[in-house]
Amino acid sequence: MVTLAEVARHAGVSASTVSYVLSGKRSISAGTRERVERSIQELGYHPNAGARALASSKSNVIALMMPLRTDMYVPVMMEIAVAVATTARGHGYDVLLLTREEGPAAVRRVTGSGLADAMILMDVELDDDRLPLLREAPQPAVLIGLPADTAGLTCVDLDFVATGALCVEHLAGLGHRDIAVIGEAPAVYERHTGFAERTLEGLRAKARELDVRLLHRPCEVGYGPTATTLARIFDERPGTTGFVVQNESAVEPLLGLLRLRGRAVPEDVSVVAVCSDQVALQASVRLTSVSLPAEEMGRRAVARIVAKLEGHGADAVELLTPKLTVRASSGPAPD
Amino acid sequence: MVTLAEVARHAGVSASTVSYVLSGKRSISAGTRERVERSIQELGYHPNAGARALASSKSNVIALMMPLRTDMYVPVMMEIAVAVATTARGHGYDVLLLTREEGPAAVRRVTGSGLADAMILMDVELDDDRLPLLREAPQPAVLIGLPADTAGLTCVDLDFVATGALCVEHLAGLGHRDIAVIGEAPAVYERHTGFAERTLEGLRAKARELDVRLLHRPCEVGYGPTATTLARIFDERPGTTGFVVQNESAVEPLLGLLRLRGRAVPEDVSVVAVCSDQVALQASVRLTSVSLPAEEMGRRAVARIVAKLEGHGADAVELLTPKLTVRASSGPAPD
DNA sequence: GCATCGTGTCGAAGCGCTTCGAAGGCGCCC
DNA sequence: GGGCGCCTTCGAAGCGCTTCGACACGATGC
């Protein structure tokens, strides 16, 4: 391995000069700079990450804590991760992958060891067990999601309350009076995942306001469970004409099942999904949907982290405004 | 931040003693060990990662280079990542997430800077541009996937040639003479992704051997493209009774489309998929499938890397034997 | 009783980099 | 022409840890 010292010797300057060329923290004459840069090229020098971290107490790494569950739609998580990794790289940071399952221990490890300069946490629960540690950690953190108590935290999330309201508003506006919600898996509610509960809250509040009947049913991932859930819904409320699908993986099964029951979309039944645009466009019916801006959330989270690391940027809760796009799966309620 | 020196002072021993308690590399009397451990607890000490890396030239980090594409089924990638992260943690390693898109530059960065002790690469192309760097890197690497030339490399992958053969064999054994393959997106073939081409090779070889007609059609992700592909297939080969689905995301659309055309599965048409067991079980028909052992591949890759890092374990290509599970989507060909 | 050995502990020397204070050389002003 | 200040560069002191050689001490062998 080539070291700074070797580059310095090769270029005929001192080690500190090479360091300053690299960091740009002091002015270096054009001539010297060029000489040093040429030496770096010729020797194929790469600064040693460990040494750098030790000397500067900065690792240039951002930790990303990600859920590795399969009861929530994976591609969205993936898309966020992609955006985080790509954006972080653009700012000169690498990304350390932590599993949500490791819980607070991982937070302690990272904050204690200086492995990373900052953390981004996903899959936030309302009363998340990682929050206490986070609040007193020396490193900044950003949550993608919204816990119950956001004091002293920075969060980025879609406004899921507004999202729920938007869905009901759209369907009610089309004349639907009986709306069913195909929700997330029961386990998602049991652990009080913020986005699931908030969406429900928004749905219910708006339904009450517009005097629409709302039936919410959790739904496991898979065709079979979707079929069961749908059967129960039509059993309890045969007059249901509007569906809100919160669980992306239920979208295609639902459409297939409706076809099987002879219910045309959108003539007999309207469907609104909360999902990524990709899913909405690739489904068998082009879906009216509120899009899940996964990529944007990842980007914003990194932007906030970087701002904090650079000294500007205070704690804040940033809720993205949901946008509903009307496509081919929703229309006026039948008489 | 608490340092080693402070722990040493607190416990009334020298710094090196604390270090040896931590690493276990020299014997320490029970009494001293306990005293030191208590001090560590009380002070809440965590070794500094950078300092450790610098002194030992080991970072205890494994880099994982992952594709962030959306033209391949994402959950599988995710499942591999999960397995890698979890297994690595079990061995005391953290995982650094690199994007496939960064290409050779990322490899150079990691190997040059000592950011990671080893690398695991996914989404391997037959003539992958990262390989030359890898072969001369000081750090060990493991590929999940199989390039054309494996000299000097360690690879873990499903035996996709055998996988393809197995699918054809199963269908041919049931009497199907006209088999269609719903393949990956065209881009996947264009960049010569190993697994796609090898599967095809296996399919074709076995079809030739068993004198079965095989039609292969690439297929973009989504319901629409699947419909188009299916239409083309029935157009060109109306007598098709067997389907091999290589592209997991085409599974549910295909089943729906067949239903729509009035082709019963498995009475009129048999379907064999290459996919994770989860997908096979959650589909609207329980699928006969060759399972994609994502989790096992991740685990094995880490096992090999750790073995290499510990000194044992030579270069090798490890191909997992595919297993076909018969479920409800395949049956005897109609007369 | 002396040499021998092993066990447990310490001190010191780095690992490769950043960063601070200082110094050399130059032009410029009064 | 001496002093001042600026620009550029250097040297040295760490950052917190690992690791090697050395040392002290008690146990063992003859």
- Which residues neighbour A24 within 8 Å (Cβ) at sequence distance 6 or greater? none
Minimum-distance nucleotide, CA of B56 to C1':
D18
pLDDT tens, per residue, chain B with 335 residues: 899 999 999 999 999 999 999 999 999 999 999 999 999 999 999 999 999 999 999 999 999 999 977 667 788 888 899 999 999 999 999 999 999 999 999 999 999 999 999 999 999 999 999 999 999 999 999 999 999 999 999 999 999 999 999 999 999 999 999 999 999 999 999 999 889 999 999 999 999 999 999 999 999 999 999 999 999 999 999 999 999 999 888 999 999 999 999 999 999 999 999 999 988 999 999 999 999 999 999 999 999 999 999 988 889 999 999 999 999 999 999 98
Show which positions of strand C are touched by protein (CB under 7 A): 7-12, 14-21
The Cα B167–Cα B148 span in angstroms is 23
Position B74 scores a pLDDT of: 80
Q: Which residue intervals of chain A bear CATH 3.40.50.2300?
A: 61-158+294-320, 160-291
- Between the alpha carbon of residue B104 and those of residues B81, B126, B147, the distances in Å are 20, 15, 15
Whether the CB-CB separation of B275 and B287 falls below 8 Å is answered with yes
- Which residues neighbour A255 within 8 Å (Cβ) at sequence distance 6 or greater? A265, A271, A283, A284, A285, A329, B256
**Range B61-158+294-320: architecture per CATH:** 3-Layer(aba) Sandwich (3.40)
Residue A327 DSSP SS3: coil
DSSP conformational letter for B144:
E
Which residues does chain A have within 8 Å of residue B62's beta carbon, measured at their own beta carbons?
A: none
Distance from CA of B46 to the nearest CA of A (A): 5
A281 to chain B: nearest residue by CA?
B222
Minimum-distance nucleotide, CA of A30 to C1':
D8
pTM: 0.93
Which of A47, A68, A95 shows the shortest C-beta gap to B97?
Answer: A95
Q: b/e map of B113-139 (b: 16 or more CB within 10 Å)?
A: bbbbbbbbbbbbbbebebbebbeebeb
Q: How far is the CA of B34 from the C1' of C1 (A)?
A: 37
Q: In the structure encoding, which two tokens stand for residue A214, read together?
A: 């709302």
Which of B96, B112, B256 shows the shortest C-beta gap to A284?
Answer: B256
Beta strands in chain A (DSSP E): 61-66, 94-99, 118-121, 141-144, 155-158, 178-182, 213-217, 242-245, 270-275, 288-291, 317-320, 324-325
The Cα B118–Cα B57 span in angstroms is 12
Q: In the structure encoding, which two tokens stand for residue A92, read together?
A: 């000169």
Whether the CB-CB separation of A212 and A179 falls below 8 Å is answered with yes
Residues 169-228 of A with CB under 8 A from B: 221-224
The Cα B256–Cα B231 span in angstroms is 13
Query: Which residues is B99 bridged to in the sheet?
Result: B66
The Cα A318–Cα A327 span in angstroms is 28
Q: Is the peptide bond before B140 cis (omega within 30 degrees of 0)?
A: no
- Between the alpha carbon of residue A84 and those of residues A62, A294, A299, B123, the distances in Å are 9, 10, 6, 20
Is A95 close to B95, i.e. CB distance below 8 A?
no
Q: In what order do the strands lie in the sheet with B155-158?
A: A317-320, A155-158, A141-144, A118-121, A61-66, A94-99, B94-99, B61-66, B118-121, B141-144, B155-158, B317-320
The Cα A272–Cα B276 span in angstroms is 29
User: Which residue of A89, A281, A295 to mutate against B (max B Cβ within 10 Å)?
Assistant: A89
Q: Which residue intervals of chain B bear CATH 1.10.260.40?
A: 4-47
Helix (H) or strand (E) holding B94: strand B94-99
Dihedrals phi, psi of A211, to nearest 5 degrees? 55, 55
| Residue of A102, A246, A233, A139 whose CA lies nearest to B93 | A102
Whether the CB-CB separation of B88 and B302 falls below 8 Å is answered with yes
Question: Pairing between strand B213-217 and B178-182?
Answer: parallel
DSSP-assigned states of every residue in B101-130: GGTHHHHHHHHHHTS-SEEEE-S-BTT-TT
Cα-based torsion angle of the residue sequence B173, B178, B179, B182 in order, rounded to the nearest 10 degrees: -160
Q: In what order do the strands lie in the sheet with B242-245?
A: B213-217, B178-182, B242-245, B270-275, B288-291, B324-325
B29 touches strand C (CB under 7 A): yes
Arithmetic mean of pLDDT over chain A = 95
CATH 2.70.98.10 fits A4-47, yes or no: no
Is A113 close to B46, i.e. CB distance below 8 A?
yes
| Residue of A193, A144, A140, A72 whose CA lies nearest to A298 | A144
Per-residue pLDDT tens for B158-189?
999 999 999 999 999 999 999 999 999 999 99
- Between the alpha carbon of residue B38 and those of residues A112, B25, B199, B288, the distances in Å are 17, 19, 57, 57
- Which residues neighbour B253 within 8 Å (Cβ) at sequence distance 6 or greater? A252, A284, B222, B223, B226, B227
CB burial of residue A129 (10 Å; 0-12, 13-18, 19+): exposed
Helix (H) or strand (E) holding B253: helix B251-260
Q: In the structure encoding, which two tokens stand for residue B95, read together?
A: 């995982």
Q: Is A38 on the interface with B (CB under 8 A)?
A: no
Assess whether pLDDT exceeds 90 at residue A299.
yes
Query: Which residues is A144 bridged to in the sheet?
Result: A156
Q: b/e map of A161-175 (b: 16 or more CB within 10 Å)?
A: bbbbbbbbbbbbebe
**Range B161-292: architecture per CATH:** 3-Layer(aba) Sandwich (3.40)
Per-residue pLDDT tens for A20-78?
999 999 999 999 999 999 999 999 999 999 999 999 999 999 999 999 776 677 888 88
Assess whether pLDDT exceeds 90 at residue A248.
no
The Cα B75–Cα B315 span in angstroms is 29
- Which residues neighbour B194 within 8 Å (Cβ) at sequence distance 6 or greater? B124, B125, B126, B145, B146, B147, B148, B157, B160
Which residues does chain A have within 8 Å of residue B48's beta carbon, measured at their own beta carbons?
A: 54, 113-114
Is B115 close to A49, i.e. CB distance below 8 A?
yes
Indicate the CATH number of A160-291 among 3.40.50.2300, 1.10.1670.10, 4.10.95.10, 3.40.50.2000.
3.40.50.2300
B264 touches strand C (CB under 7 A): no
DSSP conformational letter for B313:
-
Position A312 scores a pLDDT of: 85
Which residues does chain B have within 8 Å of residue A69's beta carbon, measured at their own beta carbons?
A: none
Dihedrals phi, psi of A275, to nearest 5 degrees? -165, 170
Residue A134 DSSP SS3: helix
Neighbours of B152 (CB within 10 A): 10
Q: In the structure encoding, which two tokens stand for residue B155, read together?
A: 């690879």
Which of B78, B113, B283 shows the shortest C-beta gap to A46?
Answer: B113
Which residues does chain A have within 8 Å of residue B49's beta carbon, measured at their own beta carbons?
A: 50, 53, 59, 113-115
Which residues does chain B have within 8 Å of residue A79's beta carbon, measured at their own beta carbons?
A: 70
The Cα A287–Cα A274 span in angstroms is 10
Q: Is B96 on the interface with A (CB under 8 A)?
A: yes
Is A94 close to B96, i.e. CB distance below 8 A?
yes
Helix (H) or strand (E) holding B210: helix B194-210
What is the distance in angstroms between the CA of the first residue and the CA of the last residue of chain A? 77
Assess whether pLDDT exceeds 80 at residue A10.
yes
Position B332 scores a pLDDT of: 97
Q: In the structure encoding, which two tokens stand for residue A163, read together?
A: 């999202």
